[in-house]
Amino acid sequence: MRTRLRVAIVGGGWAGLAAAVELGAAGASVSVFEAARQLGGRARSVDAHGHTLDNGQHILIGAYRETLRLMHTVGADPERLLRRLPLELSYPAAGFRMRLPCLPAPLHLAFGLFGAKGSSTGEKFAAVRFMRRLQALDYRLASDCTVAELLDRHSQHGSLRRYLWEPLCLAALNTAPENASAQIFANVLRDSLGGGRSDTDLLLPAADLGRVFPLAAAGFITAHGGEIRLSTRVEAIEDGLRIGAERFDRIILATAPQHAMALLARQAETAAMSDMISRYDYEPIGTMYLGYPPDVSLPSPMLGLDAGTGGCLGQWAFDRGTLDGNHGVISFVLSAQGSWDERNDGELAAVLHRELEAALGRNLPSPSWHQLIRERRATFSCIPDLPRPAAQTALNGIWLAGDYVCAGYPATLEGAVRSGIAAATGALRSTPEAE
């Protein structure tokens, strides 16, 4: 009888879980080692003030095909767990609103751009020309530069730059346009605005993140004979595919880059890879929750805070009541490096409360509680020409997964999931002789 392939997966974030699901479905025996007490990594549930919330407000889009496929595989129904909305960028205080209508691509984009309120006709034509130019280039730039330079080069100024391109860059790359990679931004545009109509849809979690994927994935993994070891940090990968006293046929390192770097540096064969990753910079994300009376809600599930006057600290506010039933809870996103990170939690809560009032144009009751979650290393800085490692390492049987491994993608859930699938596929196909 053929013995099952034994695979260890280090890290129970979305990348490691995706790898484990693929391997479990293919008949491998999987052990997931997770240092924390829970699964999910940088996209996990947290309890705060009697509510189950998330470490960070996440946005998915219709183009997250592999994430949606794996949700189906593990029995987490995307129709129930994600709220699908046509892309709408609404900044009421600045008088800007853009909504993509339910028309086939590319009409949805053209009509959406031309129908945008609060931008000039000249800007709209320039935006259409920009997208058509990128399309003609097949979204491949001759050389990488910053998103700000790309936008300048294509005459993207005014309100569409401020309320469409720059927020898209921050939301997808979590890196300021002045520092972000234009090529990765172009890839994001290819897969979203440049894709089919449903690719541009926003998919906002309608449940806490644990229920969106990690919990169902864990159930699938154990039902397929795998095991999950929580609170189990792997300190070293020993020569010969050992973790402690146990030997595996393959090991997938599915940690964040800084943790992979530490594990890879111990082996001469992977020292160069570790050195590459050690040069990465990171960007923070803050998620503030304000607890209002249950009847406080927003006119749309997601609202832009920028009032057009400059100086807003928060980018977006989300109405958790309409999304996941946490009535009166509003979450705020504070992306990338910025002055917000120098303020203390109480000051930030007061500022965001005022920014929300300005965006709504009315006074709100004071929140009865606030909770700020600062993720210092939320994502790698997605700068031009950033080298990315391959899934296969120079060590026989050791594979890498994680959002930073998925070349061409910024640090996103879809990038993490795709990297996990790629590592699993590679680990299954490879034979010790071939490695």
C-beta closer to ligand FAD: residue 127 or 260: 260
C-beta closer to ligand FAD: residue 251 or 312: 251
| Alpha carbon 272 to its chain's center | 27
Helices 182-191, 121-136: inter-axial angle, 10-degree rounding: 90
Which of 192, 379, 381, 393 is close enough to bind ligand FAD by CB under 6 A?
379
Q: State the Cα–Cα distance between residues 207 and 216, nearest whole angstrom.
A: 13
Which of 259, 320, 370, 418 is close enough to bind ligand FAD by CB under 6 A?
259
Q: What is the dihedral of CA 359, 100, 144, 141, to 10 degrees?
A: -160
Q: State the Cα–Cα distance between residues 101 and 271, nearest whole angstrom.
A: 50
Minimum separation from the CB atom of position 263 to ligand FAD (A): 6
C-beta closer to ligand FAD: residue 118 or 397: 397
C-beta closer to ligand FAD: residue 96 or 332: 332
C-beta closer to ligand FAD: residue 208 or 403: 403
Choose the binding region for ligand FAD from 78-86, 181-189, 375-383, 425-433 (rule: CB under 6 A): 375-383
C-beta closer to ligand FAD: residue 53 or 100: 53
Strands (DSSP E) along 182-281, which ranges? 202-205, 227-229, 242-243, 246-247, 250-253
Q: State the Cα–Cα distance between residues 413 and 68, nearest whole angstrom.
A: 11
**Residues in region 6-45 near ligand FAD by CB under 6 A:** 10-16, 33-36, 41-43
**Residues in region 49-68 near ligand FAD by CB under 6 A:** 55-56, 58-59
- The size of the interface with ligand FAD (CB under 6 A), counted in residues, is 36
Minimum separation from the CB atom of position 205 to ligand FAD (A): 9
Half-sphere exposure of 406 (CA within 13 A, CB side): 26
Is residue 216 within the footprint of ligand FAD (CB under 6 A)? no
Q: State the Cα–Cα distance between residues 251 and 241, nearest whole angstrom.
A: 7
**Comparing C-alpha atoms, which of 100, 95, 97, 164 is closest to residue 127?**
164
Which of 150, 413, 422, 423 is close enough to bind ligand FAD by CB under 6 A?
413
**Residues in region 270-309 near ligand FAD by CB under 6 A:** 285, 287
C-beta closer to ligand FAD: residue 19 or 113: 19
Q: State the Cα–Cα distance between residues 164 and 131, nearest whole angstrom.
A: 13
Minimum separation from the CB atom of position 201 to ligand FAD (A): 14
Residues ≥6 apart with Cβ < 8 Å to 424: 18, 19, 20, 22, 23, 26, 252, 401
Is residue 233 within the footprint of ligand FAD (CB under 6 A)? yes
C-beta closer to ligand FAD: residue 145 or 262: 262
Minimum separation from the CB atom of position 11 to ligand FAD (A): 3
Which of 205, 367, 389, 402 is close enough to bind ligand FAD by CB under 6 A?
402
Residues ≥6 apart with Cβ < 8 Å to 247: 6, 240, 241
Which of 181, 200, 255, 267 is close enough to bind ligand FAD by CB under 6 A?
255
Is residue 265 within the footprint of ligand FAD (CB under 6 A)? no
Instruction: Identify whether the C-beta of residue 170 lies closer than 8 Å to the C-beta of residue 381.
Output: no
Distances (CA, A) of 372 to 51, 138, 271, 293: 14, 41, 37, 18
Amino acid at 146: T
Distances (CA, A) of 357 to 98, 104, 181: 21, 36, 34
In the complex, which residues of this chain contact ligand FAD (CB under 6 A)? 10-16, 33-36, 41-43, 55-56, 58-59, 233-234, 254-256, 259, 285, 287, 375, 378-379, 402-403, 411-414, 416
